[in-house]
Every structure is written in C-alpha cells, then in structure tokens.
Structure 1
Amino acid sequence: MTADPYAAKSSSAPSDAAHRPYREVADARGRVYRIGETDRDILGHSRKIMVYLPWIAMMAISVFEYAYGSAEDTLSHAHGWTQSNTFWILSVWVFFQAGIAFPAGWLREKGILTARTAMYIGSGMCLLGFLSLSHLSDVRLAIVGFGVIGGIGAGLIYATCINMVGKWFPERRGARTGFVNGGFAYGSLPFIFIFNYGFDTANYHRVLDLIGCYIMIVVFGCAFFFKDPPKNWWPADIDPLSYAGSQKSAVSMAKNPPAVKQYTPREAIRTGMLPLMWLSVVLTAGVSIFGISFQVDYAKDVGFGPLVAASSMGVMAVINGVGRGVVGWLSDRWGRKSTLVFVIVVLGLSQFGVIWAGDLRSEWLFLFFAFLSGFGGGAFYPLFAALTPDYFGENYNATNYGLVYSGKLVSGLFGGGLGSMVVAAWGYDGAYALAGGVSIVAAAIALLLRQPGRTAVPSPAG
C-alpha cells in the first residue's frame, strides 16, 4: 500500500487551523487521510479532553433513563398518575431520544448545526424536560415536556458526544467510545440514591428543578470546549497506511482496519451492512429493554425477597456502565465484530439463566444472571457506535450512526409494550425464553457483518 500525497485546499479546514501545515494522502483504495496536524495544533491542548468532556455530559443526562424508574412512585403520588402513565412518559422519551440522532447528524454534516450549538440547545431542552416533570400534572403535557422536548434534548447531547469521541480517536476508538458511553449508565447512580432516599411529595418540585438546572449547567459548560476535527483528519503520530507509530494503535488498527472510504448514508445502506446493523440493534436493544422492564416483577413473581426484588438498580447501573467501557477496550484487541457477537451471546444466555435461577428459587443465582444481563444489555451500544465509523468512515458518521441507533425506536416499543403482552400470554418463563432466542438470532445476524470493500484485499497484519 503506497501513499499518494497531493495538495490540500485550505477550505477543507476550520478557519483558525487553515494556516497550519498538513497534507492529504490516499491509500491504495483511494481513501483520503489528512495528516501533519497534531491535536494540539487544532485544539491548543490534548485531544484527551474530547473524551472527558463528553463523558461528563453523558453522566449528567443519564438521570433521564436509568434513574427515572426510581422516581416513578413519588411522581405517581404527586401528580395522580397511573403506572401506565409513567410508562408512556418514558417510552415517548426513548422514542425521541433515539429518533433525533439521524436528523441531528444530517444537520451537523450540512454545517447547519455545530457540535457546540447542538449541546447548547440540548442542555436547554433537558432543563425544560425536568421542569415539565416537576410542574405539569396533566400527563399529556408531561409527555410533551419530558418525553418529547426532554427526549430530543438528551438525544442531541448523546449523539454529539458519541460522534465527537469517535472523530478525535479514529485509530483506537473502542476504549474511548466505551468509556464515554458508560457514563450514560453509571452516571445515574447518585440520582438513583436521591430518588430512593431523598425524594418525596414534599420536595419533588425542588429536587426536579435542581436536577434540570444541574444538567443544563454541566452540559453547557462542557459544550463551550467542543470542537470537531477537520474532515479526514488523522493523528500526526500514527501512519494511516503502515499503522506505524504506536504498538497499541497498530494492534487495534490491525483488528479494526479503517473504512476503505467515506460512505454517505445512501452508500452505507446500499452495502447491506448498515441495515444488518440496524436489525441487530432492534433485536438486541429490545431484549435489553425487556430485561430492565420486567426483572423486578419476575423476581417478585417467583417469591424472592425484597432485596432481590428491588434488584439493586444502583449496582445494575454501575455494571451496565462499566461493562461498556470494558468491552470497548476489549474490542480494540479482539476486534469489534468478535466482541459484539460475544456480548450479544452473553445477553442471550443470561435470559435462560434467569429462568433457571427462578426454577431453582436461587436468589444469588438470579442476581448473577440479572447482573450478567445488565452487562450484556449495555455493552453492545458502544460497540455499534465504534463499528459504524470502522465500516463507513468518520465524515458521515453522525448520520450513519444516527440511522443505526434509530433501531432503538422500535426496540422501545416491542421491548416494553410487546414484552408485557408476551408475559401475559406465555408467562415470565416463556417471555424470557423468547428474549434469549431473539438474542441468539441477533448474534447470528452480527456474524454476517463484514467491512464493505475489504473482501478483495486482506486486512493488514499487526
């Protein structure tokens, strides 16, 4: 593989970095890499800050999804809502949180919406979401305020953070993406404790208002420093053609070679790989949401004690989040696809393990498989987030990953709503068995994934 350097136009770079020396090289397949500029040339400091700031922002918005369940009882008493009301508020939130990723990515790639602006808008919408949950007793208005507005706000922040870290670490994105994504789970831990021990009908206005303000301040502060690298940018100390410069990066790039070109969303769909990713996300996320929704009810149904029935949601959040970071790190060494298949299989087998523990009436075995399910139920998200630019490149990743992540739209419906129908018809054992089977199908689909355009030329050796 040989380099083909050619002159670069300064218009492809941000105005404040246009004067810095760089050149663009093309590999044997024609993919262009912009080399010569360091992260400090562009940012004025290390690119590591583009890991920590998105991580902090993701922890701030984690309260929406992972701590909401701990607040449901108090919200129901305060506003006179039913369990169905609180379920639909969260379901609508999931729908819009996942659904905004693609249109937001399209706006960003068209230059209409910058990363910083997306974060600013998202922070304000998150504040409005919690103010709605605090002050609106009409469930329809709460759905609009928290579900729609809050969901869009959180989705803008989520998508921007995930895409940001992937762009700044194209040579070893697995561990970084997993680390940032993990904050979206274990960042909810303090809020879970607040909702369980310091949240009641006497103070819910104040608590929810303060949480909304906290999210806005934290995200707004992080957003001030957000900046995308120039298109096609590649770290100056890593050769994108020979993978020389860093042993760790060389290993990761050998296992996860860069995309052969920058695929537009239309081109990515035509490869057939993006639709397979989307379908795998639909199935895997559906099983994950099913497990979160019915784990406590199943524990009560088989007669487990109150501690097990409560399912220690705080521990679950930690395991879910830490698991995302661990598998991201592993994927840099094992390969993204192999790690993804492993995680989905673990998720599937854990569903059958939950049934086994229930049949044996073993609380500790139930906790083990429940936590294993929590691990698998979160770990696949950063893998898809890293696999998408691995396959289709970084330049259109905001829209490409937005399409992949939109599978969660469907998952939220069949994981919760359809799941409750299956439980009613087949019982918990039948529902968990079906969930396990769905995971195995998702793993089989993941086995079919291959990097577009790299079949004719073998991946480079480490």
Structure 2
Amino acid sequence: MSAQNLKSEQSAAMTRWWQLALAMIAMMAASSPQYVWALFVPPLQAKLGVTLSALQVTFALFSICQCGLGPMHGYFAEKFTPRQFAAMGGALVGASWILSSYVVELPWLYITYGVLSGIGTGMIYVATVELVSLWFPQRRGFAIGMVAGSYGFGAVITTFPIDASIRASGYQQTLLIYGLVLGIVSILVALGMRHPPIDPARQQREDLAETKFAKRNYTSAEMLRTPIFWLMFVMMSMMATGGLMVISQIGAFARDFGIGKDTLVLGMAALPLALTIDRVANGLTRPFFGWVSDRIGREHTMTVAFLLEGVAILFMLIFGRNPVWFVMLSGFIFFGWGEIYSLFPAIQGDLFGQKHAANNFGFLLVATAVGSILGGPLAALLFEQSHSWTLVFSIVSGLDILTAILALVVLKPMRRRFLEGDALQSDLAASLL
C-alpha cells in the first residue's frame, strides 16, 4: 500500500470513529424523555389531578410515536441525510419538553410529551443507526450495539440533575431548562454528521461479506411475508413489555413498596440511584450480550438474558420492599432486558440481510410500541383494578420466561430451516442462470 493510500485509510478510520462518537452523543441526549419519565410522573399526576393509568397514556404515545412509526421514520430517513434528519429530531425533542412545561391539561401533554418527543426521538434513533451502518459496514453489530447502548445509559448523566431540579424548582422549570439543553446539544451534534464517501468496489466486497448468513437481501415486503418475522415480532413484544412496565411504573410501585423520596441507599435517594444503575445496566447489556451472541449463538443468548429478566422481576415482587434489594434488582431487570435492541437486530440481519436492515428493523421496532401499551397504561389499569402489583409482576415475569423458552424451542429450529431453504433457493436460482 502506498503512503498516500495508507494516509487516506488512516484518515477514513479516524473520521469513522468520530462519526460513531457523534451518533452516541446524539443518542444519549435523546434518551432522557423515555428514561427519566418516571421522575415526572408523581408531580404531573398531582398537578393535573389525573389517574395513573390516564397519565401513562403519555408514555404509551411516546413509544408508539418513537417505535410504532419506525417504518415511517425509515421511509423519510431515506429522503434526508442523517445530519438533517437527526437535527430535525433534536429540535422536536427540545421543543416537546419546553412546550410540556406550560401544559395544564392532560390532552396537551399527550401531544407535547407523548407525540412530539416520541417522533423526535425516533428520528434520532433511525438517523444514527443508519449513519453508523454506513460507516461500519463490516462491523454493523458492534456499531449499532454501541449506539443502542448509548441510548440505554445516556440518561445516567441527567437522572440525578433532573431529580434535583424537580425537587428544587419544580417539574415545569426542569422541563423548560433541560428542553433547551437537550435540543441544543442534539442539533449541534447532528451538524457534524455526514455520509462516508462512496466506493462502489469496496461496497460490493462488503455486501458479499455481510451475506454469510442470509443468502440474499430481503426487502421489507418480502420479510413481512415470512412466519419467522412474526415469531420474532411477538417475542420482542413480550420482552418489551417487562422493561417498559418498569420504566414507566417504577415511581408508582416504588411508592407502594415503601420506597419514598427520603429512602436512602448508601447515602443517596433510592429511586434516582436505582434509575441511574438501571441506565448503566441497560447500556452495558446491549454490546455485552451482542458480543456473547456472536460466540454462543443468538438463541442461546436470548434464553439466558430473558430468563434473567423474568427471575429478576419475580424477585422484585418478593424482595422489592427492601431498599437495597430494590436498587439491585432494578439493575438486574434492565441487564436482562436492554439487549433486545442488539439481539433482535442481529438475528434479523442474519435472516434477511443487511442491505435493507434499517427499514426492516423499523418494522420490528413496532413491537416496542406494543410493549409500551401492555406495560404502560394496561399494566397501570390492571394495578388500579386489583389494587396490587402481584398480578402485574407475575404476568410480566411469565411473559419473559415464555419468551426465553420460545427462543430455544421454536426460534432456533425455525431459523435453521429458514436459512437452509433460503440457501436451496439461492443455489437453484444460480443453477438456472
């Protein structure tokens, strides 16, 4: 390799890592609306005078607009550059919190925090995934895992400051100030994003390398006609329910478990400490279990991780009234949950190829919206009707354990048959040519 080519390769490598860093920062900024929502629930419920289930519709709308509109986000992302799409998303996230600070009626909160914030966060998610997929074509799993992990633990930076701000100045002032901060950071970071230079010969080599599992690249329409996609969709919906139930309800069930604002663990308030540990666990689990799945297989990894969450949720029901156990078990719950955003995209790429991976994952991401409805307002409604968290936690734990069994008993053999049939069709088509 000539000195000029070597220098060019080194420059491209440096740029690639800078683009990954920008994508990670954007995802960290975009994570707060989802992961600190629980801190706003008690003061919003008191201010607006509404039931918990009615207020949690906001969270369900957020997830529906963030994930349920994934196919729409994927479609429009192709019409803009990642820079433009992420900047627009950041502006929406910031504006949503600023507008929410002035809300005095619940329907308006649905629009500002639920719809606008959900759409903006979804735009940033899709834009950054597309960006790192382009810059790391042969290491997509690693790059997407790092980005997804950044979204998982991004709120670590803001959880304690936002909690302190709510205590000192009230939730309205907090929404206003942090809305400005998150919006400005997201837009500035987005302005540094750009596509990699096009090298058709290199791209062709990378595409061939990426199809070592799937023998061809499936479009979204082709993928939607396969039974294995719908099995994964159901499994992801079931798993999403548990984590999103804890994210949206942790403030409510902590109060019922006797974990109040004055409850301390290691000299720190128990709830924000739990939320901080949750974010770290939720971020670390995504690249960790992605790495594990490369070595022991996707389905085996799913079984281990999903069982971990199911058992942790069951133990939370039994031991969660102890502040130390409450904090520790919430971390285990998220360490067994957050990896769905690395394992499911990975196995989807194995099955359907990488060429349309972003758009294809947009359809699978709709499962998160389903989980947000089950784990948000419906879980809250079930609690209000039963006056106990026992039934809610038992159902969620059962869904996790059932999904772990499905991964090993149903998904693994179905995936093997799918790839064998795909290879047979590919060989037949090649022979005809």
Q: What TM-score comes out, normalization by structure 1 length?
A: 0.77
Q: What residue number does 2:428 align with?
A: none
Instruction: Provide the C-alpha distance between the structure 2 equivalents of 1:391 and 1:262, rounded to a whole number of angstroms.
Output: 9
Instruction: Provide the C-alpha distance between the structure 2 equivalents of 1:452 and 1:215, rounded to a whole number of angstroms.
Output: 46
Cα drift, residue 345 of structure 1: 1.9
- For 1:148, what is the secondary structure of its paired residue? helix
Taking only the aligned residue pairs, the percentage that are identical comes to: 27
Q: What residue number does 1:164 align with?
A: 131
Unaligned runs of 5+ in 1: 1-35, 244-252
Q: What residue number does 1:349 align with?
A: 311
Contact 2:40 2:171 in 1 (8 A): no
Cα drift, residue 132 of structure 1: 1.1
Instruction: Provide the C-alpha distance between the structure 1 equivalents of 2:246 and 2:8, rounded to a whole number of angstroms.
Output: 41
Matched, 1:263 2:224: no
Change (3 A) 1:215 1:39: farther
Q: What residue number does 1:49 align with?
A: 18
Q: What residue number does 1:415 align with?
A: 375
- For 1:113, what is the secondary structure of its paired residue? coil
Which residue identity is paired with 2:115?
V
Which residue identity is paired with 2:282?
N
Once structures 1 and 2 are overlaid, which stretch shifts more, 275-284 or 88-97? 88-97
Residues 12-43 of structure 1 show CA distances to partners (whole Å, capped at 9, x for unaligned) of: xxxxxxxxxxxxxxxxxxxxxxxx99995996
Cα drift, residue 44 of structure 1: 8.3
Q: What residue number does 1:175 align with?
A: 142
Q: What residue number does 2:244 align with?
A: 289
Contact 1:101 1:398 in 2 (8 A): no
Q: What residue number does 2:345 align with?
A: 385
How does 1:129-148 map onto structure 2 within 5 Å? 129-148=96-115
How does 1:5-404 map onto structure 2 within 5 Å? 45-76=14-45, 83-84=52-53, 86-109=55-78, 112-200=79-167, 202=169, 204=171, 206-228=173-195, 257-295=212-250, 297-301=252-256, 306-307=263-264, 310=271, 312-357=274-319, 363-404=323-364
Contact 1:353 1:366 in 2 (8 A): no
Instruction: Provide the C-alpha distance between the structure 2 equivalents of 1:354 and 1:237, rounded to a whole number of angstroms.
Output: 50
- For 2:337, what is the secondary structure of its paired residue? helix
Contact 2:220 2:360 in 1 (8 A): yes
Instruction: Provide the C-alpha distance between the structure 1 equivalents of 2:88 and 2:9, rounded to a whole number of angstroms.
Output: 27
Once structures 1 and 2 are overlaid, which stretch shifts more, 287-296 or 379-388? 287-296
Cα drift, residue 91 of structure 1: 2.3
Which residue identity is paired with 2:297?
G
- For 1:259, what is the secondary structure of its paired residue? coil
- For 2:216, what is the secondary structure of its paired residue? coil
Matched positions, count = 407
Unaligned runs of 5+ in 2: 425-433
Which residue identity is paired with 2:239?
T
Change (3 A) 1:290 1:205: closer
Change (3 A) 1:301 1:72: closer
- For 2:109, what is the secondary structure of its paired residue? helix
Contact 2:242 2:375 in 1 (8 A): yes
Change (3 A) 1:322 1:271: same
Cα drift, residue 119 of structure 1: 1.1
- For 1:198, what is the secondary structure of its paired residue? helix
Change (3 A) 1:240 1:166: closer
Q: What TM-score comes out, normalization by structure 2 length?
A: 0.81
Residues 140-169 of structure 1 show CA distances to partners (whole Å, capped at 9, x for unaligned) of: 222212211221111111122123323433
Contact 2:58 2:114 in 1 (8 A): yes
Instruction: Provide the C-alpha distance between the structure 2 equivalents of 1:258 and 1:50, rounded to a whole number of angstroms.
Output: 27
Contact 2:134 2:196 in 1 (8 A): yes
Change (3 A) 1:225 1:79: same
- For 1:395, what is the secondary structure of its paired residue? coil
Change (3 A) 1:52 1:330: farther
Contact 1:54 1:161 in 2 (8 A): yes
Residues 401-435 of structure 1 show CA distances to partners (whole Å, capped at 9, x for unaligned) of: 01000111111111122223444438433332221
Change (3 A) 1:233 1:198: farther
Alignment equivalent of 1:431, drawn from 364, 386, 392: 392
Q: Which has the higher helix share?
A: 2
Change (3 A) 1:227 1:100: farther
Cα drift, residue 438 of structure 1: 0.8
- For 1:454, what is the secondary structure of its paired residue? helix
Contact 2:302 2:343 in 1 (8 A): yes
Contact 2:38 2:250 in 1 (8 A): no
Residues 52-75 of structure 1 show CA distances to partners (whole Å, capped at 9, x for unaligned) of: 111100000111011122133444
Coordinate RMSD, CA, aligned: 3.5
Which residue identity is paired with 1:391?
L
Change (3 A) 1:293 1:74: closer
